[in-house]
Structure 1
């Protein structure tokens, strides 16, 4: 287990240290992480290969106060949970929906956490449509969440799929994964032009009532499960200000982004 500065991580996400590694503490930490550390693909946009080594993830998320992709966000959260006494397993799988349509994402293109308490829970702080609360693995039927209705469905070959408001979002394999298992995927996503979304900016952060998402220059806000606004930020100065105000990341200039008119 990697030794980290727990107090610095808790300060980064605005969380209180749990008295014990229990369900209430897990819910608090999960929500605070999602509301403080954004999902963002700036590195992929700039064709830079993110490192998933523990020390590099901590430096990026906590010291530099950046966000990251699913592998970085869930890996960083894993370090925090383990340091607080939680039993955590890293799992890998693939995304099955991009916000507009179904597709078959890369194997090990997504990472989630399995946390063992009185029940086994799935935790995901690195996905735009993830639940705010941990999902019980042994629960059948829809689990209510502030972000909608979620259901864990077991496939015939032993994987699990997450269905969110009727949409199958991802499939996860249930055997443990090591961080190195995701390294090739990170390289591929950052360098191969044929990857869906290559060179495009995706960013998202959870708010009290929904989330605020960026797709290239399109800013979209959701509240209570509904899209409440969407607009294209054509002015560079406005883009930079909105990006910093929303995601806490200061950019020197706007990346070279494809033209998009519809958000996700």
Structure 2
């Protein structure tokens, strides 16, 4: 099976390509570095021509009010090119609970991306994952002031990028779901406690202060970023840290 992985050189995309190749598929990575631009459309038709499946792992360069425009333009361009090329399956990566956090610009943008795919002309699959373990340090940096890190106690269920990539590859190699598959990490943490675990493991002397108003995840109410009924990945956070 020939699979075009758009955004195939990034954190998730490069791993997806390798998993697909290991499974015997012809997985071809495409990105701006290979001459493919999802906004201008440059190189898109050539990238998807001959592909049985398109996996779109491109992401908005910002998390603010500009992000919906990125996803609308990129999906319009990719879906049109894929339909013209006769692609039989289109896969995207989204976020567990994304449709339950309308307060966040980026989450609304990802819902838009999902809706465009569902309404589009190509059979599809959506893989929703929880927050990547690889991004936890960035989350800490957003609300660091000197030696203090302010974090809300928002429940999250972090997942390793390796596990996300494996799930995306498995879905891409299968029949279109025409629906959603959720995948989550094996443990739920309060974000502030996860921050303390992370800093302690790294010998970082910053102090985590619980602040329900701090950072992007302060807008999240309840446990919508977790899912007890989803597919459970294997990697535990402390094992990943080690």
**Structure-1-length-normalised TM-score:** 0.28
* Bigger share in strand: 1
* Bigger share in helix: 2
The higher radius of gyration belongs to 2
**Structure-2-length-normalised TM-score:** 0.30
